[in-house]
Amino acid sequence: MFDGSMVTVLAQSSCQYLRPVTYPDTLLLGVRCQRLGNTSIVMEYSYYSTAQAAIVATAEAVVVRLDSEGKRKLAWTEEERARLLALEAKVGHIPKL
């Protein structure tokens, strides 16, 4: 879906750091769609430390889709919505619409 052919802008992001992480720890990152809006998508992230066997941070980002000139919001197509929802369903998650 995000193959570089569309224009998106990061409208908001936040991260809550729960525990310190030091080198040479390895982090695993989980990503899912929390909410799919008409022109935006809210992504949710979890950062898992393999050394601590715990989630060390959580984050959220709002991405807005724009027209090719980057001037106006552009709605997701029905095909794009269906592809994203199918991907989320594969892992047992249903985003808010």
Evaluate if residue 3 carries a pLDDT over 70: no
Average pLDDT, the chain: 91
- CA atoms of 90 and 42, how far apart (whole Å): 18
User: Which token pair is 8?
Assistant: 């998106």
Domains along the chain?
7-89 (3.10.129.10)
* pLDDT band with cut points at 50, 70 and 90 for residue 87: confident
Mean of the pLDDT values across residues 83-91?
88
pLDDT tens digits, 18-27? 999 999 999 9
Contacts with 65 (C-beta within 8 Å, 6 or more apart), sequence order:
6, 7, 8, 39, 40, 41, 73, 74, 75, 76
CB atoms within 10 A of CB 55: 14
User: Where is pLDDT greater, at 3 or 68?
Assistant: 68
How many helices (H) and strands (E) are present in the chain, helices listed first?
1, 4
Evaluate if residue 1 carries a pLDDT over 60: no
pLDDT tens digits, 25-63? 999 999 999 999 999 999 999 999 999 999 999 999 999
* pLDDT in the model for residue 71: 87
